[in-house]
């Protein structure tokens, strides 16, 4: 939260644990240097995270707040819709990181495109029918909460290699699953070597068909091979088996998706995960883009440059001329390219969740500051867009505070003049 001064609140520059905050910033710096912003690692390490603008700055600090595992705003800031009721003090259950509404501050919800709508729904902000189905009273009627979930769906083409040239062969000790001491030393001493790579440093953007104004297909080259094509279970399998396969992968990503999904409640229990409908495989346009990506991937790996390296195709291993077979492969293996957004989208229509200043419509002292507010996604990764959004939010908040401070002396002069007149 921002602006809270209560002990344990995620207040402005002095809030949270200094040591923990330093560790978070160090981890974020490491992620930036490798080309990725990995929020999950930091949020799993700390009880909660909150964004707070530093006074006089347009950047955002990450402040750790003590208490429960996640930011649970179950005692919500007061609804302001319809002119009924006064402000209640905002905060979070179990000591989580929320700024106190009673002190003139506000809560900044920065939990991402899945957890932000989930927390709003748990807090009574959303569709009254959905909330009532789980025994939650509607504090603010916003039926758009959790709708419009957007993601870049991805599928992969994988090959074995004829010699151990994968990044995993370089990173791990004799393919054991344990990091190579030599590679760890390279990274610690010089910030170089395979551990300095995000694993997908190379790729390009393509148009899947003529006449498109912008590319709708991204290919990422990964110098490694998973144990399965679904993009997720390989991590579990490698961890359990303690060994890594050798190979190469091309990931095809539909970066102009037309499908939409949703985030909804599975239970009123805050510890229960939300229900997520990704929308993968529901759009013919997205399927056509991914089909072309699979065809282009096989064409690229068939080039002479790969002749001394290319082994057998691991997947999809289907006839690329058979659209039905390709669609079946896509629907069974599609996974996230880590570009979730849109589930608390900005706008002025009845399904919009936040206004252009990122304030939750109908609620006082609450903003959403993450990729969930994006009405559409850029045709690439979301890291830079999310940074820009956060910096813009900081400028908005600091500007509003400055305007409020400028108005205060004028109000005091007016009150003084009224007092003199009464005398």
DSSP string, 3-42: S--STTS--STT-S-HHHHHHHHHHHHHHHHTT---HHHH
Compute the distance between CA of residue 121 and CA of residue 138 in angstroms, rounded to an integer.
Answer: 9
List, in sequence order, every residue forming a beta bridge with 367; answer none if it has no partner. Answer: 108, 359
- Residue 30 sits at φ, ψ, to 5 deg, of -60, -40
- Closest listed residue to residue 47, CA positions, set 12, 13, 8, 74: 8
State the DSSP string of 98-156. ---GGGT-BEEE--HHHHHHHHHHHTTEE-HHHHHHTT---SEE-TTTT-SBB--EEEE
pLDDT of 346 reads: 98
- Residue showing tokens 């319809």: 82
Q: Where in the chain is the domain with CATH 3.50.50.60?
A: 107-148+342-398
Its CATH architecture, for the domain 107-148+342-398, is: 3-Layer(bba) Sandwich (3.50)
Q: Nearest to residue 353, comparing CAs of 263, 240, 254, 229?
A: 263
Name the segment(s) of the chain with CATH classification 3.30.410.40. Answer: 151-259+282-335
Note the pLDDT of residue 175: 62
What are the average pLDDT values for consecutive 10-residue runs of the chain, which has 423 residues?
Answer: 31 37 47 42 33 39 35 38 33 35 73 97 97 96 98 97 87 74 92 87 94 96 90 77 83 98 97 96 97 98 96 96 97 95 96 97 96 96 94 94 75 60 59
Please give the pLDDT value at position 179. 82
Cα torsion 39, 44, 50, 52: sign: negative
User: How confident is the model at residue 242, as a pLDDT?
Assistant: 66
Give the pLDDT confidence score for residue 233 in this predicted structure. Answer: 82
Helices (H), 316-367: 323-333
d(CA 376, CA 236): 32
Q: What is the pLDDT of residue 413?
A: 58
d(CA 305, CA 311): 13
Check residue 89 and give its pLDDT. 32
CATH code for the structural domain at 151-259+282-335: 3.30.410.40
């Amino acid at each position: 939260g921002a602006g809270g001064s209560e002990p344990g609140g995620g207040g402005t520059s002095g809030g949270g644990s200094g040591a923990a905050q330093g560790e978070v910033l160090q981890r974020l710096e490491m992620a930036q240097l490798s080309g990725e912003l990995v929020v999950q690692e930091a949020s799993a390490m700390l009880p909660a995270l909150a964004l707070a603008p530093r006074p006089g700055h347009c950047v955002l600090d990450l402040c750790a707040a003590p208490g429960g595992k996640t930011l649970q705003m179950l005692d919500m800031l007061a609804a302001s819709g319809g002119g009924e009721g006064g402000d209640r003090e905002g905060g979070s259950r179990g000591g989580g990181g929320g700024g106190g509404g009673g002190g003139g501050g506000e809560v900044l919800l920065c939990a991402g495109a899945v957890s932000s709508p989930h927390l709003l729904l748990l807090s009574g902000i959303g569709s009254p029918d959905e909330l009532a189905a789980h025994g939650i009273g509607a504090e603010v009627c916003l039926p758009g909460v959790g709708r419009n979930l957007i993601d870049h769906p991805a599928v992969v083409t994988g090959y074995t290699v004829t010699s151990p040239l994968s990044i995993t062969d370089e990173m791990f000790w004799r393919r054991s699953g344990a990091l190579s001491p030599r590679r760890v030393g390279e990274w610690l001493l010089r910030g170089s070597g395979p551990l300095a790579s995000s694993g997908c440093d190379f790729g390009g953007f393509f148009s899947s068909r003529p006449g498109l104004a912008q590319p709708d297909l991204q290919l990422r080259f990964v110098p490694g091979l998973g144990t399965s094509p679904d993009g997720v279970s390989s991590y579990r399998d490698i961890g359990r088996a303690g060994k890594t396969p050798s190979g190469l992968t091309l990931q095809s990503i539909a970066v102009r998706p037309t499908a939409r999904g949703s985030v909804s409640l599975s239970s009123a229990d805050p510890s229960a995960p939300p229900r997520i409908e990704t929308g993968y495989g529901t759009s013919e346009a997205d399927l056509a883009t991914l089909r072309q990506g699979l065809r282009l991937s096989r064409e690229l790996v068939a080039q002479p440059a790969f002749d001394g390296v290319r082994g057998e195709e691991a997947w999809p291993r289907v006839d690329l001329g058979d659209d039905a077979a390709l669609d079946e492969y896509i629907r069974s293996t599609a996974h996230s390219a880590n570009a979730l957004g849109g589930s608390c989208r900005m706008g002025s229509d009845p399904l919009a969740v936040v206004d252009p200043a990122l304030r939750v419509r109908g609620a006082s002292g609450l903003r959403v500051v993450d990729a969930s507010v994006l009405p559409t996604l850029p045709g690439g990764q979301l890291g830079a867009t999310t940074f820009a959004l956060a910096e813009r939010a900081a400028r908005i908040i600091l500007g509003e505070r400055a305007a409020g401070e400028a108005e205060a002396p004028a109000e005091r002069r007016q009150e003084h003049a009224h007092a003199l007149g009464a005398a």
